[in-house]
Amino acid sequence: MPRFAANLHWLFTERAFLERFAAARDAGFDAVEFPSPYDHSPTAVAAELRDAGLRCILFNLPSGDRAKGDFGIACRPGRETEFREGVHRAIEYAHALGTKRLNVIAGKKLDGEDPAKLREVLLANVEYAAGELHRSGIDFVIEPINDIDIKGFLVSRQDEGARIVDAIGPERLGLQCDLYHTAMMGDDPEATLTRLAPIIRHVQFADVPGRGEPGAGKLDWPRLFTLLDALPYEGWVSAEYKPSRRTEETLDWLR
């Protein structure tokens, strides 16, 4: 059975963020992740992790202001200083929380922009972050996100993410493979996991369509979880779905 973690941005949302840690522990999780801890002090988040006896296995570099349309800033020209400041802020939080892996969200292409220019900015920023995180003893991954849910997202397929890993070097950057985003792009999650296993360092999941819990859609979860056990993958597998009802009532797949 894979090692499962709970994404606290998506699960246990019946509670305030800092109350979700204890709920995850009570539901049977040993580890959690979340996209952003930055609305709370590192001391406050670390206290919740300690009190719940949980590990924080992953969070994202600062990704801009979602209310203003940002969904990652790593590819955005003119925001390189903001990105680099965010790298150091993330390292501060990672050390405080004991988190050994951080994720980068590439960002979106706006109408009329040259994707080649955005990829140039992205590679330069990821190169910088990879160096800083490597020196800080923190692993680094990049996450492709489907461009159906997030219109214009620059890195939408796992193979695109793999090319960035190859450009930076797999010793300093790995791939975060979200099976929901993979399937939403029409790619086969099973074939993708098998082909890219050597560079996959983190896995997330939700069912397709609808981003619900396993069993709410069409993906074969027993088969996928069995495959993850069979592959040379030793990382965590994180539940990042939108529960169809109270979170605790959607955990049959975990039990």
For residue 194, what pLDDT is reported?
98
Domain ranges for the chain: 3-250
For residue 255, what pLDDT is reported?
84
For residue 177, what pLDDT is reported?
98
For residue 250, what pLDDT is reported?
98
Instruction: Give the chain's residues under pLDDT 50.
Output: none
Query: What is the phi/psi pair of residue 136, to 5°?
Result: -95, 0
For residue 137, what pLDDT is reported?
98
For residue 241, what pLDDT is reported?
98
Contacts from 245-251 at CB under 8 Å and sequence distance 24+? Answer: 246/14, 247/11, 247/12, 247/13, 247/14, 247/23, 247/27, 248/23, 248/27, 250/212, 250/213, 251/27, 251/28, 251/213
Instruction: Please give the C-alpha separations between residue 191 and each of 158, 179, 186, 224, in angstroms, as whole numbers.
Output: 11, 11, 12, 10
For residue 114, what pLDDT is reported?
97
Amino acid identity, position 196: L
For residue 247, what pLDDT is reported?
98
List 33, 48, 143, 213, catalytic entry? 143
Instruction: Please give the C-alpha separations between residue 196 and each of 83, 177, 189, in angstroms, as whole numbers.
Output: 28, 9, 10
Query: Which CATH number applies to 3-250?
Result: 3.20.20.150
For residue 77, what pLDDT is reported?
98
For residue 1, what pLDDT is reported?
82
Contacts with 45 (C-beta within 8 Å, 6 or more apart), sequence order: 18, 37, 56, 93, 96, 97
Structural contact between residues 241 and 180, judged by C-beta atoms closer than 8 angstroms:
yes
Residues present in the chain in total: 255
Q: How many CA atoms lie within 13 A of 128 on its CB side?
A: 17
162-188 residue pLDDT tens? 999 999 999 999 999 999 999 999 999
In the residue annotation, 113 being an active-site residue is answered as no
List 33, 48, 213, 240, catalytic entry? 240
Neighbours of 101 (CB within 10 A): 21
For residue 195, what pLDDT is reported?
97
Please tell me the pTM assigned to this model. 0.97
